[in-house]
Amino acid sequence: MAKKKLLIVESPSKADTIKKYVGKDYKVMASVGHIIDLPKSHLGIDVDDDFKPKYITIRGKGELLSQLKREAKAADKVYLATDPDREGEAISWHLASALNIDINSDCRVTFNEITKNAVKAAIKEPRSIDMDLVNAQQARRILDRIVGYKISPILWEKVKKGLSAGRVQSVATRLICDREEEILNFVPREFHTVEVELKDNAGKRTFSAKYYGKDDKKEVELKDAKAAAEVVNAVKSAEFKVSSIRSGETSKNPPPPFTTSTLQQDAARKINFQTSKTMQIAQGLYEGVNIGGKYGTVGLITYMRTDSLRISVEAQQEAIEYIGQKYEKSYLKARQYKTKKGAQDAHEAIRPTHVSLTPDEVKEKLSNDQYKLYKLIWERFVASQMSAAIYANTNATIDANGHKFRATGSTLKFKGFMAVYTEGTDDAKQKDKALPKLGEGDILSLEKIEDIQHFTQPPARFSEASLVHELEENGIGRPSTYAPTISTIIARGYIARSKKQLVPTELGFVTTDIMKNHFKDIVDVEFTAAMEDKLDTVEEGGMEWVDVLRGFYPEFAQNLEKAQRDIEKIKIKDEESDIVCDKCGRKMVYKLSKFGKFLACPGYPECRNTMTIREGTGVQCPKCNGEILVKKSRKGKIYYACEHTPRCDFMSWYKPVGKCPVCGSLMIETKGRNSKITCSAPDCGHTEKKRDNKNEG
C-alpha cells in the first residue's frame, strides 16, 4: 500500500479547504498555529548565553504533536504549508525540528491564495525553509519577550498588578497620550471669514463666495471682528463684478489595491470595523468559504498580511476582461503600482482570487460582515485597473470696491473608477457644487453678507484608522501587529474607546510617563522604527539576529536597574461611583477587566461584592413598562433588553428612543449611514428626523 503525503497547514478551516484540492494521495492536517514557543511562566531566554531561547511544546499541544509525528513517520513526504510570512516560516521551522525534517530539503510550500490552481502549483515547487525569515521572527519574538517580561514586573510593583509594557504597544500608547496632551494644551486662536451669497445676472441661481483679499495682494487672514467689519462695511453697498473666470479639468486617479494597513483603515472608515474584526473576517475569506457551484470551497481573497502593492499578471488580466465586459473602453486603464521603499514585498496586494466572483454573486453564501469586507476588497481591486475620474472645475474672482472674493465650483465630468469605488476619509468634507454660468464683466446681485467667527481647532484624537496610519507612516511595528496592539492597550486599560476615538486613561498617562522617563528608547518613535529596519535587514540576510539583541540589551539592562531603584510607588485611585455597596455601605468603585468595566466594593478583601454597570435608556419596555437597558453580548455587540430579563423577554438590536406619537409603539433608531428614527410597528410607517441621544448604541 502506497504511503500518503502529509501536508501541514496552520488552521483547521484552511485544512478543510485544501483537502478538496489535493486528492486522496494527501493527508492534510493543521498545527492550529504555533506548536512550539517560549514558555509563559518565565523569560525563557538565556541572556548570558547569547540570548539562547528555550523553546517548549505549548501546553495542550502535546497530543496534537504526537499525532503529527505519527503521521509524518508514516508518510513518504511531508510538506509544511504554514502561512507565507515570518510567523509562518517560524512555525514550519519548529515543525521541521519536532518531526525530524531536514530544513534544507524541499519541504516548504507557500501559496498567496487558497485556490485549486495556486495550491497545486505551490506543491510542485517546494523549497527549503528560509532561515533569514525564521531569524527575523526569532529576533522579534525574543526582543519583544525581553521588553515585556523585564519591564512589566516593575509596573506591577510600582503601579498596579496586571500591567504590561511592549515594544510596539508602549509606543502606540505614547502616541495617543501625546496627542491628548496636545489637545489639552491647545490654545484656540480667533479668526473670521466674510462670505457673501450672490445671484447671477440671469437671476436664476445663487452661489457663495469667500473673501480673499484686497486688490492683487495675497490671501488675507481676518484675525478679529474689527478686520472683518471693515471688509463688510467696504463691500455691503458695492457693485459685485466678475473680474476673471478660470475653467479647467482635474483628474483623480484610483487608489491602489489594499495592503493590510489600508484595508484596516478603509474598513474602519467605511464599514465601521475595528482592526481586530477586519483581520478576523479577512482570515476567514482567505482560508475558504463554500460558495457551491464549480468553485465549491475556495479562498475568496489573497493573503491578508502584506505591505505590497504588486498584483499578478493573471489577476490583472482578469480585472481587465471584467471591466471590458461591464463598461465602455474609456473606463479601462491597466495599472501596476509601486510598493514603497522598505515594505515587505513577498506577497501580492490583497485582492479577490477570482474577479468573476462578484460580491452580489457570493452574497448569499457569506455572512453580512464577510460580504461587506469582500465587497470592499473586490471593488477596490477592480477600481485600481480603471481610468481616473475627471472633474470640471471653475474658479471665479469677483471684485467689490477693490476687495476680492473667490468662488469655486466642481462637477464630476467622468466617473472613471468612481463608478465602482470611492475611498473613505476621516474628514467628511462637503462636496463642491457647480457654479452658475458666469462671464467676465457680469454684474452680480448681493443677496446676503455674513461675518463668521471661527477658532482654530486642536488636532483630532486618534481613531483606529488614523492610529494605524500613524504607526505605518512612522515605521512602527508591521501591519500584522496593529490589530493585536490596539486590542492589548485597550484591554490593559491604558486606552478607552469613546465612540470612534481612542482616549488615554489616567493609567495610560502614568505608565507612559514612566516609560518616557526610564525607558525612553522603548517609547521613542525613531528608535522603534530603526529597530524595525534592523529586523528587516535580518530578513534580507544582511545581519545576524543575535547582533540586534547584542546592540540593544546592555543599555536596556542598565535602565532596568536604574528604574527599579528610582521609580517610586504610584497609587492610582479608583474612580468612585454613586452606587452604594448593598453589603457594607461603602461607595462602589469602577474596575476594569478583560470583559470591560464593572463595579466593585473598595473594601476588598473584607467585602468582595461586585456589580455589573447598569446603563439605562430612559425608555419604557413596550411589554412590561420596565426600563430598557443597554447590554453587551459575549462578542461585545450592543443590544437593548428589559431590566426585568429573563422574566420579560423584550430585546432589540436597535436603539429605542421613545413612543410613537401615531400608534404608541416603540420608536427605534435604525443603523447605518442613512439611519433614521422609525416606528417598530410594521403597519405604522411613522418616521422622524434623528434626535440627540446620550445613550449611543
Q: Which helix (H) or strand (E) holds 328?
A: none
d(CA 225, CA 209): 19
Q: How many other C-beta atoms can be found within 10 angstroms of the C-beta atom of residue 691?
A: 10
Annotation marks residue 303 as catalytic:
yes
Alpha-carbon separation of residue 187 from 176, 184, 190, 455 (angstroms): 19, 9, 10, 10
d(CA 121, CA 499): 46
Half-sphere exposure (CA, 13 Å, Cβ side) for 686?
Answer: 15
- Which long-range contacts (C-beta less than 8 Å, at least 24 apart) are formed by 232-237? 232/194, 232/449, 232/451, 234/400, 234/401, 234/402, 234/403, 235/194, 235/196, 235/400, 235/401, 235/403, 235/449, 236/446, 236/449
In angstroms and rounded to an integer, the radius of gyration of the C-alpha atoms of the chain is 30
d(CA 669, CA 687): 10
Alpha-carbon separation of residue 71 from 28, 30, 78, 102, 639 (angstroms): 10, 12, 9, 17, 47
d(CA 251, CA 333): 14
* Angle at CA of residue 358, ends 356 and 359, nearest 5°: 160
The active-site residue, picked from 211, 286, 303, 374, is: 303
Amino acid identity at 334: A
Residue among 516, 524, 535, 521 nearest 478 (CA):
535
Q: How many residues does the chain have?
A: 697
Alpha-carbon separation of residue 460 from 234, 427, 463 (angstroms): 37, 10, 9
Q: What are 193's strand-pairing partners? A: 452
d(CA 403, CA 109): 71
Q: Which residues lie closer than 8 Å to 216 by C-beta, 6 or more apart?
A: none
Q: What are 627's strand-pairing partners? A: 620
Amino acid identity at 484: P
* Angle at CA of residue 78, ends 480 and 539, nearest 5°: 35
DSSP 613: P
Catalytic residue IDs: 303
